[in-house]
Every structure is written in structure tokens, then in C-alpha cells.
């Protein structure tokens, strides 16, 4: 392309100038989509990378917004003519743009593209208009134009010249024809309704074949560019012998229509021209004039009949009409021309095309109504009613279609979601045109609903009851608690915690612990039913959402009793320092109540049910023990032959599994008076175990003292030991304490306990064991207490035989 006639500044302006128009207000848009339109104008043939426009500035957007919104361009062109530089916010040329290839002779020439941004979604349409530059010269299809003209041609005869073709448009297109100077033919130029220019030669001087049988000229086609371009073709004229009547068409313009889906061979129209000459000079033939190769493949003209038929395929979406020049020629070379205009009738042969421009999945279940889910572009290549599209979706799902820009639709939410009810949707989008019959297309969008933490964990029960046996091992599992959360993933991940409460003044965590993952409750310590019978704690189940949701439940842990305590004998009391004896008169009848063994068990239930049995006795035929109440009664009549000193061993056993027991020794004196009892009970052995321990410590003390003081303190130590031994002998001289039930004794409550008040008779010696006893006796008192602290000579104590056959022993527990 030549620019020699223009200054550099004007050249730059012609190549790179652009204009921007904002269309305000914007088209109707959704509340969630920002829409706008921009129009740029650039010349064709710009180099790759040439600036088209600053989109960020013209749309009022920040460059950072283009990056964060993942801005991209969408175009319906087969080639990607433009490129969006998101780092600079500019639109540049991506591929050389040839206006003639893009639009042909259509003006103005433009193409549209859409810029789509996300988060939030924005849609902007950009129209780029391509300005023509004079980069194509006019050309003729043939290298020469030949005419055969009769010499009898009348002045003013017209001869249609072959038209030149210029791919440029506007002022850069074909503007005029120039015929080289001659005095025989003149040139007349014409313009067709579609803007095409053609020329005719007009005979201005009578031809004379004899003087000039051949005429050669040049036809020059010139465009309007700066500088102008031109094309040249030779015009060769052969002068024929006289044929003075040219053919004449009966119509200057023929009109016809054909359906775009018409089959090959379809009749279109017939042209007709007549010639007044006769013979061969009146024989007319027809041919296409100035028709390009594409049309020759579509239409056929019968050169004899003038019938035009369809031999190729026509497409309304490509060309809506065709204009063809027809030439009629007689045998003498005389011609006439006429035009045939063929209009293509649109047929609904194109179904709508659905393109999903942007699709957001998943969508949070708490999305507000009206949230944009997808942007859809629907196009139909048909026109009028056949190209009018209605876009819909299933009315039974919470979505609807809204129109935004032309042929653009937004899929938006129509109500709220609940992922727990419907976790995903298959959305079918229908696009239907208005043709008859109508054509439609569908596409399916698979939308997932993202979970939101809107459900708290739930327990199956309001209160849980668990049991644990006392004396458990620390760390043992007591109970497992489970909660359900119908949310998903992290929102449904449940952790368990103990609420801070107090049990008997101590924190609950000192009693039990809970596994945060599984909900297993473990004992921290060993439980004792006798100390704590029930634990009541609050467990909180909390999910992993943000913010987390939680629920509480009460867990009652009941401690179950275990037979871990033996019976405890409350009466008779066993002491190491004195002997308690029950006195039975020799006149006692059968069933006489001697005493009552009173015992308790701190366990509960059947573990505390006690039974009493006679284990050993001096005379088993004389006494029996009540199985349930522990009462010791005589079985037969007491006789004089019965020994004064009776020793009974009673075992008290609970009902646990396994059972536990305690043994108590009951001393019974069979006598009618206290002196008789005293004579039998005064010789009582020392506690053997106690004496053994005492001997050990005395020997140890003597060894240490002897080592320290050696010989000098032997005499002093001997005296001290002697005196100490004398005091211990007096102290350890025990007399029995004989309890005695008053005659009015009865077990009125049936609980196996005695009355709270016991009466005793006390007798002590005044000088020695041989002296008589002195009594202090009340009217109803029959119990004798013998105080081991009495003073006097007690040297016979260690030589007397014990009244009892066996030494007294403390309560035995098993």
C-alpha cells in the first residue's frame, strides 16, 4: 500500500485513530451482573500487538479487578483477532485483520466480542469496527474483452463492458472507468442499486469494416483511494458485416425467489430477448455477464432458452440475495443486457446454539434468591421469526432464566436451598426458536450445593443413663455417646466435651473424661458406692463449622454396689483389755434370750442382707443363734452339769457374691450369782500377741541402753526395769465385764439392735485377789464390770488357769 502522497502525521492518524462510545444507560441487567458496551474503530491490516483500546480505563475498572475477576474475552469469530492484556487492561490485535476477508463488501464492517468477569460476574460487549484502507487494486476477470460488432451498428449502440472488481469498499472501492482516447466509441458509466459500477461503450461514429476491421483500446478501472489504484484490460473489437438490429430484452429487471433449502435443479426464472433480424442474425443466445466463479457454481443459464435453474446450494445466512447480469447476443454480435435479482427465502433450518459462557458450581446453600449461577449465550443463524429465541428451564426446580444483553441469558436462583434435602441439581436449559416447525436445543448443567453449617448436632435422647460397678479400674470405659449432624464434611465433624460442673465440690473432670473424637466416657478414678451413688454430667457435642454449633445432653452414671465390705459387729464389743461375758441363770428356760449379736453392712441391697450362724460352741446343744436377727437363745433347760464358762463363736455373713463374713466371740457365764462368776473369770491370760510385741521392744531398748551406758548404768537400769515390770503387771491384770440384759429386754423394732442404755454391776477387790468383792447393786442391775486398774497383790494371776478353754480373740473378719 502506497502512502507517498500523505504526510507521516496523517498516515499515523489513519492507521491508529480510534473512537470510543459508551452506551448509557446500560441494558437491563440482573442485580448481580454489571453490563456495558464499548465501540472501537480501527483500520484493517494493523500489526499484531497494536493497541485497540484501554478497556480498564474505558469501562472504569481497575487493572487488579481484571486479574481477580479472571477477565476473558469471548467471540463468535473462527479466528481470535483480539487479545486482552489483563496486566495492562488493554485490548490489542492478536492476528492480522483483513476487512475484505472478514466482511466482503458489507459496510460497515465490524465484529463483536464479550468481556466476562467473575466474582462478581460482569459482562461487557465490545464492538470493533474495521475501517477499510486502499490495499486492493481494481481487477478484471479476463485479460481482454472481445467484441464482434457489425459495421451496420447504429450510432448510439451500447456495448456492455466487463466490470472490474475491487475488494475495497467506500471511497477506496471502484469509482470510475476510463477508455483510452478514440473518436469511434464513447464511454458511459452506470451504478447499480447495490452500488456496483459498470460501463458501456457507445458507438459515436459509424463503423467501416473496410477501412478499420479491428479496433483495440484499453479500459482502465480506477478506485478512489489516496493514492488511487487502477486496473487495465484490453478491449479488442472485430467489425462484422451488417447486422443492424440488436436483441432486446422484454424486461430490464427480472425478479425471482428461491427457498434456501431448495433442491438442485429447481427452476428459478426465464429471461427472454428478441431480435428483429431474420435468419442467423436473429438467432439469440444468452450468457451470464460479469459473474464470479461462486455464482457459476450455484446457478445455471440455458443459453438457448434463457431458463435459470439452481445447481448448487444457497444459504440465507450467507447471502440473502443475488444480482446477475444476463447478456443476449445475436449471431451478428449485437447484444442487450438485463438484470436478474434472485432473493433467498429463509427457512428454519438452524437450531439454536447454546454456549455456557460462565458457570459457578458449587453454590452455597445459603445463597440469596437471585444469585447468578451461569451466563448463557444463545444464537440462531436464522432470521426474523425463525431466529427469535425463547430460553427456559424446568419450572419445578428453584431456578429461572433472565435475559440480559441481546442473546445473553442469566441462570439465577429463584428460592433458597437446603443441601440436606437436595445436594445437587441437574438443570436443563431449553432454547427454542419461533419457526414453523420450531427447532430447539438443550444443555444440562450439573450444579452442586455447597454445605453451610446450619444444623447443630443432635442426640437421640434427652437423658442417657449408664451404669458402672464400684471399685472399677481407672480408665475403664463407662459409656459411649453419639450425636448426629446432617451437615457435611467439616461441618458434620463432631467433637465431645464435658461441661464444667461440680460433683461433691470437685470438678466433673476429676471423676470422668470423654474422648473428643469418639464420645467414649471413661472413669478417671475408682468409684466407691458407699461414697457416691450417682454422677450427673453434661456432655456438649460441637461440630467443626464456622461458627460452630453445639447441643448438650445429660448423662447420669449410676454406681452399682459391689460386695466389698464385710459385716461389722457392733455388739458384743471386742476389746483387748477386758472380757465381756453374758450371764445366764441356771434356772433359765428353753428359749431364754442370752444376748443379741448386732452387726451392720455398709453395702446395699442383697449385699447388706445379713445372716447369723453358730460356728463353734463349748456346748452346741445348749445355745442357738437366730438366722436373721442374731439372737442367742437357749435350746434346752440349763442344768447344774453345764459348765459355768461357755464360749460361743458366731459368724455373721452377708448375701453378696461372693459373700463376706465376720466372726465374733461371745462369752457366756452360766451362774446364778456374781461371786460364782468372778471366781471363774478372774484368772484371764494376757493378750499373747501384745506380750510378744512388748518383749521385742524391751529387748531392743535394753540392748541400746546397755551399749551406751555399759557397766556404770547397769544397776540403775535394773531398778528401772523392775519397777516398770511391776506397774505393767498390775495394769494388765484384767477382770471380765459381764453385760446383762434386763428382764424387760425385747427387740421391738425388729432391727437387731439393743437398747441404748445398759446397766452394769461393778465389783472390785480392796486388797488382794483373795479378799471378798464389794458390790454396788441397784434393784434392776445384773451386769458386773471388773476394772483391771484395781490395786493389790496379783501375783497369782499368772498361775491361775483361764476360765475359758481358749484364749479370747478379737473379731475375725473374712
Q: To which H or E segment does residue 384 belong?
A: helix 384-387
Q: How far apart are CA 778 and CA 560, in angstroms?
A: 51
Q: How far apart are CA 81 and CA 99, in angstroms?
A: 12
Does 507 have pLDDT greater than 80?
yes
Q: To which H or E segment does residue 696 belong?
A: helix 688-709
Segment 612-636, tens digit of pLDDT: 998 888 888 888 999 988 899 999 8
Q: Which residues pair with 664 in a beta bridge?
A: 650
pLDDT at position 689, please?
52
Phi-psi region of 466 (alpha: psi -120 to 50; beta: other; left: phi over 0): beta
pLDDT at position 413, please?
92
**Would you place residue 310 in the very low, low, confident or very high pLDDT band (cuts 50, 70, 90)?**
very high
Q: Do residues 343 and 383 touch, judged by C-beta distance below 8 A?
A: no
Burial of 808 (0-12, 13-18, 19+ CB in 10 A): buried
Signed CA dihedral, 311, 317, 318, 321: sign only: positive
DSSP character at residue 163: P
Segment 325-369, tens digit of pLDDT: 999 998 878 899 999 999 999 888 889 999 999 999 899 988 898
Whole-structure pTM value: 0.48
pLDDT at position 792, please?
33
Q: How far apart are CA 199 and CA 114, in angstroms?
A: 45
Does 764 have pLDDT greater than 60?
no
Does 702 have pLDDT greater than 90?
no
Segment 188-221, tens digit of pLDDT: 988 888 778 889 999 998 888 778 888 999 999 9
Segment 223-258, tens digit of pLDDT: 888 889 899 999 999 887 677 678 999 999 999 999
Q: How far apart are CA 461 and CA 482, in angstroms?
A: 10
Q: Which residues pair with 402 in a beta bridge?
A: 410
DSSP character at residue 165: B
DSSP character at residue 151: T
**Would you place residue 495 in the very low, low, confident or very high pLDDT band (cuts 50, 70, 90)?**
very high
Does 70 have pLDDT greater than 80?
yes
| C-alpha to C-alpha distances, 352 to 77, 113, 319, 426, nearest whole angstrom | 17, 19, 20, 21
Dihedral pair phi/psi, residue 8, rounded to 5°: -55, -40
pLDDT at position 700, please?
79
pLDDT at position 679, please?
63
pLDDT at position 735, please?
42
Does 749 have pLDDT greater than 70?
no
pLDDT at position 4, please?
34
Q: How far apart are CA 168 and CA 104, in angstroms?
A: 8
Segment 380-433, tens digit of pLDDT: 888 888 888 999 999 899 999 998 888 899 999 998 888 888 999 999 999 998
Does 743 have pLDDT greater than 50?
no
**Would you place residue 754 in the very low, low, confident or very high pLDDT band (cuts 50, 70, 90)?**
very low
Q: Spell out a b/e string for 486-498, using b for 16 or more CB atoms within 10 Å of the CB, else e.
A: bbbeebbbbbbeb
Residue in 512, 389, 495 with CA at minimum distance from that of residue 442: 389
pLDDT at position 682, please?
55
Q: To which H or E segment does residue 776 belong?
A: strand 774-776
- 24 or 130: which carries more pLDDT confidence? 130
Cis before 170 (ω within 30): no
DSSP character at residue 778: -
Sheet with 34-43, side-by-side order of all strands: 21-22, 34-43, 122-131, 109-117, 72-75
Cβ contacts of residue 504 below 8 Å, gap of 6+?
532
Does 12 have pLDDT greater than 60?
no
Question: What residue has cell string 453454590?
Answer: 363
Return mean pLDDT, the chain: 79
Strands 90-93, 144-150: parallel, antiparallel or unpaired by DSSP?
Answer: unpaired
**Would you place residue 498 in the very low, low, confident or very high pLDDT band (cuts 50, 70, 90)?**
very high
- The SS3 call for residue 369 is coil
Does 778 have pLDDT greater than 90?
no
Segment 563-615, tens digit of pLDDT: 888 998 988 887 655 556 788 888 888 889 989 999 998 888 888 899 999 88
Residue in 327, 167, 190, 321 with CA at minimum distance from that of residue 247: 327
Q: How far apart are CA 394 and CA 442, in angstroms?
A: 11
**Chain-centroid distance, C-alpha 416:** 17
Question: What residue has cell string 441404748?
Answer: 756
Segment 148-178, tens digit of pLDDT: 888 788 888 899 888 888 877 878 888 888 8
Q: Do residues 63 and 89 touch, judged by C-beta distance below 8 A?
A: yes
Cβ contacts of residue 227 below 8 Å, gap of 6+?
2, 4, 5
DSSP of 701-742: HHHHHHHHHGGGGHHHHHHHHHHHHHHHHHHT----BB----
Q: Do residues 116 and 405 touch, judged by C-beta distance below 8 A?
A: no
Does 796 have pLDDT greater than 60?
no
Furthest-apart CA pair in the chain: how many Å?
203
Q: Do residues 174 and 164 touch, judged by C-beta distance below 8 A?
A: yes
The number of helices, as runs of H, and strands, as runs of E, in the chain is 9, 56
Give me the mean pLDDT over the 490-508 stretch.
90
Does 535 have pLDDT greater than 60?
yes
Q: How far apart are CA 64 and CA 87, in angstroms?
A: 8
Cβ contacts of residue 268 below 8 Å, gap of 6+?
256, 258, 299, 308, 309, 310, 342
| C-alpha to C-alpha distances, 613 to 44, 264, 566, 572, 649, nearest whole angstrom | 124, 126, 15, 15, 9
Amino acid at each position: 500500500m502506497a502512502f507517498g502522497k500523505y504526510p507521516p502525521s496523517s498516515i499515523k492518524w489513519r492507521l491508529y485513530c480510534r473512537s470510543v462510545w459508551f452506551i448509557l444507560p446500560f441494558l437491563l441487567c440482573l442485580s448481580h451482573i454489571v453490563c456495558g458496551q464499548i465501540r472501537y474503530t480501527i483500520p484493517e491490516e494493523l500489526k499484531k500487538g497494536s493497541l485497540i483500546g484501554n478497556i480498564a480505563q474505558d469501562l472504569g475498572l481497575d487493572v487488579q479487578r481484571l486479574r481477580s475477576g479472571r477477565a476473558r474475552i469471548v467471540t463468535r469469530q473462527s479466528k481470535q483477532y483480539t487479545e486482552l492484556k489483563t496486566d495492562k487492561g488493554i485490548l490489542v490485535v492478536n492476528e492480522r485483520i483483513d476487512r475484505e476477508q472478514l466482511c466482503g463488501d458489507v459496510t460497515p464492517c465490524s465484529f463483536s466480542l464479550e468481556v466476562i468477569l467473575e466474582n462478581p460476574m460482569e459482562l461487557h460487549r465490545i464492538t470493533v469496527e474495521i475501517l477499510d484502507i486502499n490495499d486492493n487494486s481494481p481487477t478484471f476477470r479476463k485479460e481482454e474483452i472481445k467484441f464482434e460488432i457489425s459495421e451496420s451498428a447504429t450510432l448510439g449502440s451500447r456495448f456492455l463492458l466487463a466490470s472490474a472488481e475491487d475488494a475495497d469498499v467506500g471511497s477506496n472501492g471502484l469509482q470510475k472507468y476510463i477508455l483510452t482516447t478514440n473518436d469511434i466509441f464513447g464511454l458511459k458509466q452506470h451504478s447499480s442499486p447495490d452500488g456496483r459500477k459498470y460501463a458501456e461503450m457507445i458507438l459515436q461514429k459509424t463503423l467501416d469494416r473496410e477501412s478499420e476491421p479491428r479496433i483495440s483500446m484499453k479500459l482502465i478501472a480506477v478506485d478512489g483511494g489516496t493514492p488511487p489504484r487502477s486496473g487495465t484490460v484490453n478491449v479488442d473489437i472485430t467489425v462484422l458485416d451488417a447486422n443492424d438490429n440488436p436483441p432486446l430484452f422484454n424486461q430490464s429487471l427480472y425478479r425471482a425467489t428461491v427457498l434456501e433449502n431448495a433442491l438442485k435443479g429447481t427452476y428459478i426464472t426465464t429471461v427472454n430477448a428478441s431480435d428483429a433480424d431474420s435468419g442467423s442474425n436473429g438467432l439469440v443466445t444468452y450468457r451470464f455477464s460479469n459473474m464470479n466463479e461462486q455464482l457459476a457454481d450455484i446457478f445455471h443459464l440455458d443459453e438457448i432458452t434463457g431458463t435459470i435453474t439452481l445447481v448448487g446450494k444457497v444459504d440465507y445466512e450467507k447471502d440473502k440475495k443475488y444480482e446477475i447480469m444476463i447478456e443476449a447476443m445475436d449471431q451478428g454480435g449485437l447484444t442487450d443486457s438485463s438484470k436478474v435479482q434472485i432473493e433467498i427465502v429463509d427457512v428454519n433450518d438452524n437450531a439454536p446454539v447454546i454456549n455456557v459462557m460462565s458457570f459457578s458450581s458449587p453454590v452455597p446453600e445459603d445463597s440469596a434468591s437471585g444469585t447468578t449461577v451461569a451466563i448463557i449465550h444463545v444464537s440462531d443463524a436464522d432470521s426474523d421469526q425463525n431466529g427469535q429465541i425463547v430460553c427456559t428451564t424446568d419450572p419445578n426446580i428453584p431456578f429461572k432464566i433472565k435475559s440480559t444483553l441481546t442473546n445473553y441469558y442469566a441462570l439465577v436462583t429463584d428460592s433458597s436451598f437446603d443441601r440436606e434435602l437436595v445436594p445437587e441439581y441437574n438443570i436443563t436449559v431449553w432454547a427454542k426458536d419461533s419457526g414453523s416447525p420450531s427447532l430447539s436445543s438443550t444443555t444440562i448443567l450439573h450444579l452442586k450445593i455447597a454445605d453451610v453449617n446450619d444444623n447443630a448436632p443432635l442426640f437421640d435422647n434427652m437423658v442417657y443413663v449408664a451404669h458402672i460397678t464400684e471399685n472399677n479400674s481407672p480408665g475403664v470405659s463407662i459409656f459411649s455417646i453419639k450425636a448426629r449432624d446432617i451437615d457435611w464434611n467439616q461441618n458434620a465433624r463432631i467433637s465431645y466435651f464435658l461441661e464444667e460442673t461440680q460433683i461433691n465440690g470437685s470438678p466433673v473432670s476429676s471423676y470422668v473424661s470423654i474422648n473428643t473424637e469418639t464420645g467414649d466416657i471413661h472413669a478417671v478414678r475408682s468409684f466407691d458406692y458407699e461414697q457416691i451413688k450417682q454422677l450427673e454430667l453434661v456432655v456438649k457435642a460441637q461440630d467443626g463449622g464456622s461458627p460452630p454449633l453445639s447441643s448438650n445432653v445429660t448423662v447420669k452414671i449410676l454406681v452399682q454396689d459391689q460386695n466389698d465390705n464385710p459385716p461389722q459387729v457392733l455388739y458384743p464389743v471386742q476389746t483387748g483389755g477386758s472380757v465381756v461375758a453374758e450371764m445366764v441363770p441356771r434356772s433359765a428356760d428353753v428359749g431364754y434370750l442370752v444376748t443379741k449379736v448386732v452387726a451392720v453392712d455398709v453395702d446395699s441391697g442383697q449385699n447388706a442382707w445379713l445372716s447369723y450362724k453358730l460356728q463353734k460352741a463349748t456346748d452346741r446343744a445348749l445355745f442357738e443363734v437366730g438366722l436373721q436377727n442374731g439372737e442367742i437363745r437357749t435350746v434346752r433347760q440349763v442344768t447344774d452339769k453345764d459348765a459355768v464358762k461357755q464360749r460361743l463363736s458366731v459368724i455373721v455373713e452377708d448375701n453378696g457374691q461372693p459373700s463376706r463374713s465376720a466372726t465374733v466371740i461371745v462369752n457366756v457365764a452360766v451362774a446364778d450369782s456374781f461371786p460364782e462368776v468372778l471366781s471363774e473369770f478372774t484368772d484371764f491370760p494376757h493378750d499373747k500377741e501384745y506380750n510378744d510385741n512388748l518383749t521385742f521392744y524391751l529387748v531392743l531398748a535394753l540392748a541400746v541402753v546397755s551399749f551406751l551406758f555399759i557397766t556404770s548404768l547397769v544397776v540403775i537400769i535394773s531398778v528401772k526395769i523392775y519397777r516398770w515390770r511391776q506397774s505393767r503387771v498390775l495394769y494388765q491384770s484384767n477382770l471380765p465385764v459381764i453385760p446383762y440384759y434386763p428382764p424387760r429386754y425385747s427387740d421391738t423394732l425388729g432391727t437387731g439392735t439393743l437398747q441404748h442404755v445398759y446397766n452394769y454391776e461393778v465389783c472390785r477387790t480392796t486388797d488382794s485377789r483373795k479378799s471378798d468383792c464389794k458390790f454396788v447393786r441397784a434393784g434392776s442391775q445384773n451386769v458386773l464390770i471388773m476394772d483391771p486398774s484395781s490395786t493389790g497383790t496379783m501375783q497369782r494371776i499368772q498361775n491361775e488357769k483361764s476360765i475359758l478353754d481358749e484364749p479370747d480373740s478379737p473379731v475375725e473378719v473374712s
